[in-house]
Amino acid sequence: MNWFYSRSSAFSDSVCRLLKQPVTSILHILGMGIALSIPMGCYMLLDGADQFSRKLNNTSQLNVFIAADSSDKTIKLAEKQLTELFDGEITFIDQDDGLKQLSKNSEFSELVKNLDTNPIPHLFVLTPLDSDAKKLTDVAQTIENWSFVEEVSFDAKWALKLESFVNLSKILVMMVVLLIGLGFVASIFTNIQLQITIRKDEIEIARIVGATGRFIRRPFLYYGFIQGLLGGLCAALIIFFSVKFGLNAIQPMLEPLGFYIRDPDLVTLSSPLLFSVALSLLGAWLSSNNHLKKIDY
Amino acid sequence: MIETKDLSKRYPGGHQALKNVSLSIQEGEMVFLTGHSGAGKSTLMKLIGGIERSTSGSVAINGTKLSSLNRSALPYLRRNFGFVFQDHKLLIDRSVFHNVALPLLISGLSKSEITTRVRAALDKVGLLEKGSFNPVTLSGGEQQRLCIARAVVNKPAILLADEPTGNLDPGYAADIVTMFRAFNRVGVTVVIATHDPAMIQGLGARIIELKQGELQA
C-alpha cells in the first residue's frame, strides 16, 4: 500500500505537469505521433508492394526454346537435364503443336499456310513450385549456357527488380526508423532536462531530506512514459485512420493490379506504441541519470 | 554522536571554506556554531549533513564515517537529520501540507500515517489551520516555522539549522529559538549556525566559533 501511494503520487504529479502546459504537451505528443507514423506507414505500403511482387513471382514461368532443327535425341536430353535441374512442372510443346497454336490465331493463319518449313522452335514451359525469383534467375542462367538451348525467356525479371526495390526500400525504412528513434531519445532527453531545470529546487530539497536516486528519477521516468504512451497512441491512430479512410479510398484502383494494403492489425498498431514507450523511457532515464550524476557524490 | 576530524573543504576555484576542523558533539546536546559571514558555518553544516563531500578529513555520525558510505547509502543517512535553512527552501507549487509531507513520502510511509504525522508537526509549529495554504501566502516567520515542521516531521535524531532567524524580527526569532529548545529537551541533538549574538544569550548552550574556516579555541 505504501509502495503504491508513493508511486501513484509521483505518477499523478507527472500527469498534472503535462496538463499544466496543455498546448506544449499536445504539440509535443503530436510531433512524436507524426514522426512515428511516417516510417510505420511506409512499412505498410512496402508490405503491400512485397505481397504484390510475391504474387507476380508465383505466376512466373521460364520458357526454354530449343532450335527447330534439333533431333529427338537432343530434345530427350534437354528434357532429362531439365528434370534433374528444375523443381516444378515441365510442359513440352513441340514445333508442330506450336505451329498449330499459331495458325489458330486469325492474324497468323494465312502466314502459316504459306510456310514451306516449320520455323517454330520446340518449347519447354517450366512452372516453378518455389516462387523465389532469385532462384529462378539462377536456373535460367544455367539453362542459357546449354548448347542446344536457343533462348530462355524469363517473364518475372521485372518482378525480381520490384522485389529488389522493395527490399532496398525496407532497408531505407529501417534506417529512417533508426534515425527517428535516435531523434526520439534526444527529444525526450532535452524535454526531461527542461523539466529538471524547472524542478531544480525540488530535486535539491528532496535530496537533502533523504530522497534516493530512484525517488528523484521516478517522476521523470513517469513523465517520459506518459509522453511516449500518448505519442505512440497518436501514431497508432494516425496509421489506423490513414489506412481506413485514406488508402482504402484508392484500394479499388490498386485491386486489379493485385496490390493490397492490409488493414492494420493489433500487432501493427501496438508496435509504434511499444517503440515509443521504450524510447521515451530510455531518454528519460538517460536524462535524469545524467543530472543525478552531476549533483550527487 | 557527531565527530569531525581535521575536516577541510576547498571549493572549485580555490576558496578554502574550512581548515582542519576537529570537534565532537554529544547526543542530546544543543550547540551554536558562530562566526561572521564566510566563516564556514554553512559549509560545516553541509558536511555534517552529508550534503557535500569534504576535501580532506572525516565526519562520523554515531561512529560511521560518511566517507565510508557509498552513494546509495547516503540518502538513508540524511533521513536522520532535520534541516532548517535561512531561505526556507520551500516548494512554492505545493501546499503547506505537501511541503511537510515530502520527507515522509520519501521514507515510504502510508497515506494515513503521513496525514497523522504532518498534522502533528504543523500543530507543533502552530500552522495546523494553514495546511492547505500555499507557502508564498505565509509570513517570513510562518515560512520558517513551516521549514521547521518539515525538518522535524520525520522525527530526526539531529536537527541542523543554518541561520534560522536570519531574516526574522526579534519576536519571531525568539519563538523559533524556543521551539529548538523544546526539541532539544526531548532528546534531539540540535546544531544551530548563527551570527546573531542575541540568539545565543541566556540559553546556556555550548558555543563553537569559526573564523575564516578555522575553529577558535
Contact list in A for residue B106 (CB cut-off 8 A) is 206, 209-212, 215
User: What average pLDDT score do residues A16-39 get?
Assistant: 88
Task: Point out which residues pair with A64 in neighbouring strands.
Answer: A124, A152
Where in chain B is CATH 3.40.50.300?
1-80+158-169+189-217
Highest average pLDDT, of A108-122, A151-165, B6-20, comes from: B6-20
Asked if residue A79 has pLDDT above 70, the reply is yes
**Percent above pLDDT 70 for chain A:** 90
Residues on A contacting B at a C-beta cutoff of 8 Å: 1-3, 5-6, 9, 201-202, 204-213, 215, 296-297
CA angle B59, B62, B65 (to 5 degrees): 35
Whether B74 contacts chain A with CB within 8 A: yes
Please indicate whether residue B211 or residue A99 has the higher confidence score (pLDDT).
B211
- What is the distance between the alpha carbons of residues A111 and A107, in angstroms, rounded to a whole number? 8
User: B102 and A206 in contact by Cβ < 8 A?
Assistant: yes
Please indicate whether residue B95 or residue A47 has the higher confidence score (pLDDT).
B95
**DSSP E strand stretches across chain A:** 62-66, 88-93, 122-128, 149-154
User: What average pLDDT score do residues A221-238 get?
Assistant: 92
User: What average pLDDT score do residues A190-197 get?
Assistant: 90
User: What is the reported pLDDT for B46?
Assistant: 92
User: B83 and A1 in contact by Cβ < 8 A?
Assistant: no
A60-155 folds as Alpha-Beta Plaits (3.30.70)
User: What average pLDDT score do residues A74-95 get?
Assistant: 87
User: Tens digit of pLDDT for each residue in B75-85?
Assistant: 999 999 999 98
User: What is the reported pLDDT for A128?
Assistant: 79
Task: Point out which residues pair with A152 in neighbouring strands.
Answer: A64
**Percent above pLDDT 70 for chain B:** 100
Residues 6 or more apart whose CB falls under 8 angstroms from that of A13 comprise: A219, A222
Candidates 3.40.50.300, 3.90.550.10, 3.30.56.10, 3.30.479.10; correct CATH number of B1-80+158-169+189-217?
A: 3.40.50.300
User: What is the reported pLDDT for A227?
Assistant: 92
Question: Complex ipTM, two decimals?
Answer: 0.87
- Other C-beta atoms lying within 10 Å of the C-beta of residue A244: 12
Please indicate whether residue A201 or residue A154 has the higher confidence score (pLDDT).
A201
User: Tens digit of pLDDT for each residue in A124-151?
Assistant: 988 877 667 777 778 888 888 888 888 8
User: What is the reported pLDDT for B131?
Assistant: 92
Please indicate whether residue A246 or residue B25 has the higher confidence score (pLDDT).
B25
Asked if residue A263 has pLDDT above 80, the reply is no
Average pLDDT, chain A: 83
User: B91 and A202 in contact by Cβ < 8 A?
Assistant: yes
The grid coordinates of residue B80 equal 536522520
User: What average pLDDT score do residues A72-76 get?
Assistant: 88
Domain residue spans of chain A: 2-56+161-295, 60-155
User: What is the reported pLDDT for A1?
Assistant: 55
Contact list in A for residue B155 (CB cut-off 8 A) is none
Tell which of A12, A17, A208 to mutate to test the B interface (max B CBs under 10 Å): A208
Q: How far is A20 from chain B (nearest CA, A)?
A: 12
The minimal CB distance from A205 to the residues B49, B53, B102 is found for B102
**Where do the H-state alpha helices sit in A1-61?**
2-20, 22-58
User: What is the reported pLDDT for B160?
Assistant: 94
Q: What is the dihedral of CA A34, A35, A41, A42, to 10 degrees?
A: 150
The minimal CB distance from A297 to the residues B71, B89, B108 is found for B71
User: A210 and B107 in contact by Cβ < 8 A?
Assistant: yes
Under the banding of pLDDT at 50, 70 and 90, the label for residue A100 is: confident
